Structure 1
Amino acid sequence: MDFFEKSVIELQKQRPIFHSEDDLKLALAFKIKEINPEFEIRLERPVELEMVNRNGMKTTVRAPIDIIVIDTYGNYYPIELKYKTKKTNTLFNEENYILTEHGAADVGRFSFRKDIFRIENYKLKNLNYKCGYVFILTNDKSYFEKNVFEKENIDKHFSFHNGVLLNRIDSSWNYSKIDKTKFTLNENNIWCNIQSKEHWTCKKQHFYKLDLLKDYKITWKNFSIVEKTNFKYCLIKIE
């Protein structure tokens, strides 16, 4: 068991629920530092990453990595995390937690793959990279139970339900679901409406092509149960 897995397990014992993604990020960073006082921690450290759009155009973006851990040998461990919640109002240790309804699971599934891509991209560009992690914690069972591969959802190719093999090849959004009476494919391979406005999947980060370096087996594990609200997590280790 490495330092990150150990930190997650230890965090479970103290914090079964979090107010927000920032709350989770800070708590996890503190736990890593508590267990490994010799490590240095950086939050929201910006890095430059090369991204490729689905029409082949490349762009360099400057974006933060949620947590970067630096060990005593100067090795870097970048961590990307997500906290996706269903609406919940619950009490734990006399502290009230009012969680928002994030919804937009289609975007959430795409973003999970994007986080893996970003850590792999970071790996290729940094000689001091040792190992990276993508971590998602959620009480939204549509992520870990719902197999959207079996449906014709627009995000069907981004499903990362329990037990699935996340294919390294990005099969893109399921554009068979687009209303062809409203959207057509233009000369730049972008779906636009009659006013030449792009479909939301063809805008900004949602238009990135996210081919990965390898396939990843998806496993969800129990994190906590708070007043019948079940939290599960998925951890991807990128060595």
Structure 2
Amino acid sequence: MEIAGSVKLAAVMNELSTVRSVFHSEADFQHAFAWALRTLAPAVGVRLEVPQGGREYLDLLCLGADGHRTAIEFKYFTRRWDGNDPNTDEPFHLRAHEATDLARQGFVFDIARLERFCLPNGKMNGLALMLSNDQRLWSPAATTRRTRDQEFRVHEGRTLTGVLRWGTEGSWFAANERQLSGSYPLAW
């Protein structure tokens, strides 16, 4: 995946990991990501919290040469952790976000939003990033029991596509249903 037609996502994440490995919040992660991107590709413009009409905002819009753009949505979901960032020795006290089902839901909602925001002319792509220290998100479910967020699972190796329904057979919650036009392989 290339950001704004200029730099590979893997290069940005590698740059970011050499500087920071822990973040205080999603906003902290967004800012650090934008900074790492600008370090690698100074010509790429970055805009945080860009209005998309109504009450919707895009976390980060990256503006490259020749009209290439990348829309990025971020999620930062943590388990409780107290420690120091090994790169900076900065102390961190991360709180526990226990509702993994809602983390998955928010991530899928972001993908659906990106489909709406991205232009079909081939010069705009989208990227949904979730950073977490909670292995329940990147690992397959430990149980075979059907859960309400079953179709919203985001574990390593899964591909999200088509209609994703929230709930269980006979008890679907239509307001949370999302129709994805594309196919999205998940990699952690």
Shared fold, TM over 0.5? yes
Q: How many aligned residue pairs are there? A: 181
CA RMSD of aligned residues (A): 2.3
Structure with more relative contact order (C-alpha pairs < 8 Å, separation 6 or more): 1
What residue in structure 2 maps to residue 188 of structure 1?
A: none
Instruction: State the secondary structure of the residue aligned to 2:55.
Output: strand
Q: Runs in 1 of length 4+ with deviation above 3 angstroms?
A: 126-129, 175-178
**1:100 pairs with 2:95:** yes
Aligned partner (choices 15, 24, 27) of residue 22 of structure 1: 27
Give the deviation of 1:219 after TM superposition.
2.0
Superposed, 1:25-44 pairs within 5 Å as 25-44=30-49
2:167 counterpart of 1:162? no
Post-superposition offset of 1:148? 6.9
Q: Is the 8 A contact 1:110 1:155 kept in 2?
A: yes
| Larger CA deviation: 138-147 vs 126-135 | 126-135
Contact 1:150/1:156 (8 A) holds in 2: no
Q: Distance in 2 between matches of 1:28 and 1:5?
A: 12
Give, in angstroms, the shift of residue 210 of structure 1: 1.3
TM-score normalised to structure 2 length = 0.86
Alignment partner of 1:8 is 2:13: yes
Tell me whether 1:76 sits opposite 2:69 in the alignment.
Answer: yes
CA contact 1:67–1:79 (8 Å) conserved in 2: yes
AA partner of residue 109 (structure 1): R
Report the equivalent of 2:82.
89
In 2, distance between residues paired with 1:213 and 1:164?
16
Residues 153 and 177, structure 1, Cα contact 8 Å, conserved in 2: no
What fraction of aligned residue pairs are identical, expressed as a percent?
28
Please tell me whether the aligned partners of residues 109 and 159 of structure 1 are also in contact (alpha carbons under 8 angstroms).
yes
1:90 Cα shift?
0.5
Structure 2 regions of 5+ residues with no counterpart?
none
Asked if the contact 1:148–1:155 (Cα under 8 Å) also holds between the matched residues in 2, the reply is no
CA deviation after TM superposition for structure 1 residue 216, in Å:
2.0
User: Which is greater in Rg?
Assistant: 1
